[in-house]
């Protein structure tokens, strides 16, 4: 009878211990400040039995708990309310926000949408930025209307006529901006992505040489439609590959 009682007690102990171990699981998440953007490191996460852990540099934590457990968060000697574990919907992602401002090295980014500008948008923006330069015209004698309605010579234009260095500098800058805009337009129409797609040339020295050798003029690029430009690239690609084959072919000895 004594042996049977010991066996029963042992079985009951094993059952209770097994249930206790089975009920234990990990509570984890991230702690943010009031902005819900900045991580808060060094926060103490503690359960009612006194078991605790600290959040890392990214505000993350994990702590072993049971369903009957509760946890609270302590930062700068201030504790939050206790959270009953059984009321937490997803124990693997229990994120909270403390009523503190904390600016650390790391933070989350809100949703970012990146819009790629077209060449036209870049060109318009560039012309708006340098409007005075693009609109520059050589000063000439002009008339102007005074506030009283009396016509007369434009004094500013007369002064600008004799500002030779200023006029020369603005004209030079204007030409440089126009040239830069033309080069960007050629890059837009005659780009590596399109060339690789049509010619099947691989990235490297051959492609770089092709881009430099067969780069079209601005006049052609601005006048050619999509079909014409594609045909131009294809024709140049055929010619370029023939040249490569001729260069690699062994020369006959005289």
Helix and strand numbers (H, E) in the chain are: 9, 10
pLDDT for residue 18 is more than 80: no
CA distance 109 to 95: 16
Confidence band (pLDDT; 50, 70, 90) for 219?
very high
66 and 29 in a single domain? The answer is yes
Same domain? For 77 and 129 the reply is no
Average pLDDT over residues 38-49: 92
Q: What sign does the dihedral 128-130-135-140 (CA atoms) show?
A: positive
Q: For residue 234, what are the CA distances in angstroms to 83, 190, 198, 210?
A: 68, 12, 6, 12
Q: What is the pLDDT, as a whole number, of residue 96? A: 93
Instruction: Please identify, among 189, 213, 230, the residue that sits at the C-terminal boundary of a domain.
Output: 189
Same domain? 104 vs 36: yes
Which of 165, 189, 213 delimits the end of a domain?
189
Helix (H) or strand (E) holding 22: helix 2-22
What per-residue confidence (pLDDT) applies to 202? Answer: 87
Q: Are residues 109 and 27 in the same domain?
A: yes
Higher pLDDT, 120 or 86: 86
Same domain, 185 and 195: no
Q: How many CA atoms lie within 13 A of 85 on its CB side?
A: 21
CA geometry: angle at 34 spanning 51 and 57, to 5°? 50
Give the model's pLDDT for residue 232: 94
Q: Within a 10 A sphere around the Cβ of 11, how many other Cβ atoms?
A: 10
Backbone φ and ψ of 117, nearest 5°: -75, 145
Of 113, 133, 156, the residue that ends a domain is: 113
Residue 56 lies in a domain: yes
In a domain, 140, yes or no: yes
Q: Determine the Cα–Cα distance for residues 55 and 29; give it in Å rounded to an integer.
A: 9
Q: For residue 47, is it within any domain?
A: yes
Do 201 and 237 contact (CB within 8 A), yes or no? yes
Same domain, 182 and 196: no
**Structural domain contains residue 12:** no
Q: Is 36 left (phi over 0), alpha (psi -120 to 50) or beta?
A: left
Cβ within 8 Å of residue 130, ≥6 positions away: 177
By residue range, what is the domain housing residue 61? 23-113
Same domain, 105 and 141: no
Backbone phi and psi for residue 193, each to the nearest 5 degrees, phi listed first: -60, -45
pLDDT on residue 209: 94
pLDDT at 6 > cutoff 60: no
Task: Report which secondary-structure segment, H or E, holds 127.
Answer: helix 119-129
Residue 5 lies in a domain: no
In a domain, 182, yes or no: yes
Which residues in 88-116 are b (16+ Cβ under 10 Å) and which e?
A: beebeebebebebebeeeebeeeeeeeee
153-207, pLDDT tens digit by residue?
A: 454 555 555 566 766 776 777 778 788 888 888 999 999 999 999 999 988 899 9
Mark whether 65 and 28 lie in a shared domain: yes
Q: What is the mean pLDDT of the chain?
A: 77
Q: Is residue 254 part of a domain?
A: no
Q: Domain total for the chain?
A: 3
In a domain, 78, yes or no: yes
The predicted-structure confidence for 106-148, as pLDDT tens digits, reads as follows 666 555 554 445 555 556 665 666 566 556 566 554 555 445 5
């Amino acid at each position: 009878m004594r042996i049977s009682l010991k066996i029963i007690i042992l079985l009951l102990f094993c059952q209770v211990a097994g249930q206790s171990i089975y009920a234990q699981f990990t509570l984890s998440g991230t702690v943010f400040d009031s902005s819900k953007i900045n991580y808060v490191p060094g926060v103490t996460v503690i359960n009612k039995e006194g078991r605790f852990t600290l959040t890392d540099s990214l505000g993350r934590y994990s702590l072993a708990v049971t369903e009957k457990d509760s946890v609270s968060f302590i930062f700068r000697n201030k504790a939050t309310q206790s959270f009953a574990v059984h009321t937490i919907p997803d124990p693997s992602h229990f994120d909270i926000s403390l009523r503190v401002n904390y600016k650390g090295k790391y933070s989350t980014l809100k949703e970012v949408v990146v819009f790629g500008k077209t060449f036209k948008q870049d060109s318009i923006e560039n012309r708006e930025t340098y409007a005075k330069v693009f609109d520059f015209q050589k000063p000439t004698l002009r008339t102007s209307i005074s506030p009283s309605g009396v016509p007369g010579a434009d004094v500013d234009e007369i002064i600008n006529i004799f500002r030779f260095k200023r006029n020369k500098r603005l004209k030079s800058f204007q030409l440089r901006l126009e040239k830069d805009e033309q080069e960007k337009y050629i890059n837009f129409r005659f780009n590596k992505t399109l060339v690789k797609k049509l010619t099947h040339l691989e990235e490297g020295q051959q492609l770089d040489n092709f881009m430099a050798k067969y780069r079209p003029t601005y006049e052609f690029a601005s006048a050619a439609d999509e079909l014409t430009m594609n045909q131009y690239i294809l024709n140049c690609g055929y010619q370029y590959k023939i040249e490569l084959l001729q260069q690699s072919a062994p020369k006959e000895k005289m």
